[in-house]
Amino acid sequence: MTITVRNFINGELVAAQSGKTFQSINPATEEVLAVAPDSTSADVDAAVQAAKSAYNAWRLTPAPRRGEILYRVAEILKERKEELSALMTQEMGKIIAETRGDVQEAIDMAYYMGGEGRRLMGYTSPVEMPNKFGMALRDSVGIVGLITPWNFPVAVPSWKILPALIAGNSIVWKPGEDVPASAEMFAQAFADAGLPAGVLNVVNGFGPDAGGPLVAHPDVRILSFTGSTDTGIAVYTKAASLGKKVTLEMGGKNAIIVMDDANLDLAVDAITWSAYGTTGQRCTATSRLIVQKGIKPRLMEALVAKAKSIRMGDGLDPNVDMGPLVNPKALEKVSSYMDVAKSEGVKILTGGAPADIEKGYFFQPTLFDGVEAGMRVEQEEIFGPVLSVIEVADFAEAVKVNNSTRYGLSSSIFTENVNDAFRAIRDLTTGIVYINHGTTGAEIQFPFGGTRGTGNGMREAGQAALTSFTEWKSVYVDYSGRLQRAQIDTEDVLSRELTSD
Ligand code: NAD
């Protein structure tokens, strides 16, 4: 049965004002899973109006009470974890174990940000005048606009929605157009947890028609975007011209470095999971393997065998290791890189073509050998189950190759040498660094984000997330009963003041 998704505006489920819809297709079966509102600026305006009306009461709700609602969101998500995970697998294709992890990340974030309701730490500091007090508080901002991709239908939105809510903001969220049904089920958890109407609004649709008006809307002061670098930069440029604050989380070209002294079996398992998990469609997926010369022959042999053993199919089947790509466009893009690889003289060790499965957008786990630093397959985000292998002589060359891309999200090194491990922590210039672990698997209590073309210096998750969704308010209380002038009054004035007390 096809699911009918609605926008969620002012606590009501509503169709797009134009009445238009688009389809959400199951990428494993090619069946229509849902139809969703194809929204435009009229729908965005209505959602922003609802967020505006709800903002004052929400900002004045004590933060610990806001936190209690987030705890209830966590409890509801725990109850619905299986149902929501199954829906996500059908809507975007990754295997059920991974969609469960996706929902778990939102549960973790709901508890973490619920706890912030009793912290949201500001600070006090001594002030330079007598009989005066100073403190800095985190303040809500107003209406925040959130734009998210399809590859983590629940986790990525949770990194934005939960900190934005605990900080007292109201929200208009535009989910990825491949996952409207998952977005609706996720938003329902907030309504059922008692979030007041209008505090969280969802507008479905495509980037230019629904995302664009959100970016441009004069009442939206903050934008938080996750998606591809090209779209993110366009969003950033428009928002900057309107003086808005923007958080960007964009593409990746993440690498695992394997040194000659690495634990080979561990490295093989980690590489396979990070490169082919989520069909290579994670922002943190490993798409480059930088390997020292000595270990390379044994590593390649083991990796080819592993890649060939990966079972592809519908992610709802617990025996399947890898699901399809998200849509035909993704299949076309990944396929086109096989021609790029051939034109660059790269050797395809395994894979290299769509899988021979009757339905669905499946692509074989692929391993490129003989890749050199600077090639297109080494530099561009392919966003599929494709791993490029670059041979290096030593640690210094490995670091250089790792750091020489447009992106800077995640990197990893496998070594048993503690000195190399610490040098890697020092020298790898990505926002996330792993030692003896693949490039995926971040936990929500630490900042998440990347350097260079991956971001704009902001971070999600952890305490850093609060920076995106709050303004600092500095407060001075003068209880001297006199005009006191910081930086101007002389020591004489100060000492008169002190002796008169
Ligand atoms: P995308 O850039 O195509 O779309 C992302 C979102 O932006 C979607 O909701 C889309 O509708 C919207 N959008 C598109 N054009 C727009 C416009 N002109 N104005 C406003 N909004 C617009 O990305 P995608 O294909 O959905 O996701 C894959 C990308 O996301 C990859 O590059 C991946 O690396 C990245 N990603 C990054 C992170 C991270 O945290 N760094 C996490 C997940 C995914």
The confidence score (pLDDT) of residue 491 equals 73
- Residue 490 forms part of a structural domain: no
CB 278 within 8 A of CB 99: no
Which CATH number do you get for residue 404?
A: 3.40.309.10
Which of 443, 469, 494 terminates a domain? The answer is 443
Which CATH number do you get for residue 117?
A: 3.40.605.10
> Nearest to residue 425, comparing CAs of 399, 451, 391?
399
CB 10 within 8 A of CB 187: no
Residue 90 Cα to ligand 1 middle (Å)? 20
DSSP string, 37-75: E---HHHHHHHHHHHHHHHHHHHHS-HHHHHHHHHHHHH
- Same domain membership, residue 242 and residue 102: yes
How many Cα atoms occupy the beta-carbon half-sphere of 132 within 13 Å? 18
Pocket test for ligand 1, best of 241, 283, 329, 334 (most atoms within 8 A of CB): 283
Pocket test for ligand 1, best of 39, 147, 160, 327 (most atoms within 8 A of CB): 147
Catalytic residue among 105, 116, 177, 249: 249
CB 291 within 8 A of CB 389: yes
DSSP string, 249-310: E----EEEEE-TTS-HHHHHHHHHHHHHGGGG-STT-EEEEEEETTTHHHHHHHHHHHHHHP
**Structural domains counted in the chain:** 2
CB 357 within 8 A of CB 312: yes
Please tell me the residue having the least CA distance from ligand 1 atom 4.
Answer: 227
Residue 327 Cα to ligand 1 middle (Å)? 14
Distances (CA, A) of 427 to 231, 400, 408, 470: 29, 9, 13, 32
Cα radius of gyration rounded to whole Å, the chain = 25
Low pLDDT (below 50) residues in the chain: none
- Same domain membership, residue 202 and residue 259: no
Percent of the chain with pLDDT over 70: 98
Which ligand 1 atom is nearest residue 175's CA? 9
pLDDT tens sequence across 92-115: 999 999 999 999 999 999 999 999
The confidence score (pLDDT) of residue 498 equals 65
- Same domain membership, residue 270 and residue 218: no
Check if 12 is active-site: no
CB 309 within 8 A of CB 276: no
- Residue 279 forms part of a structural domain: yes
The confidence score (pLDDT) of residue 450 equals 97
Catalytic residue among 91, 105, 177, 283: 283
- Same domain membership, residue 281 and residue 246: no
Please tell me the residue having the least CA distance from ligand 1 atom 15.
Answer: 207
Q: Please state the pTM of the whole predicted model.
A: 0.97
Instruction: Give residue ranges with CB within 6 A of ligand 1.
Output: 147-152, 156, 174, 176-177, 206-208, 211-212, 215, 226-228, 231, 234-235, 249-252, 283, 381, 383, 409, 450, 454
- Same domain membership, residue 278 and residue 147: no
- Residue 26 forms part of a structural domain: yes
Range of the domain at 326: 254-443
The confidence score (pLDDT) of residue 497 equals 65
Which ligand 1 atom is nearest residue 215's CA? 20
Residue 244 Cα to ligand 1 middle (Å)? 19
Which of 250, 274, 300 terminates a domain? The answer is 250
Check if 249 is active-site: yes
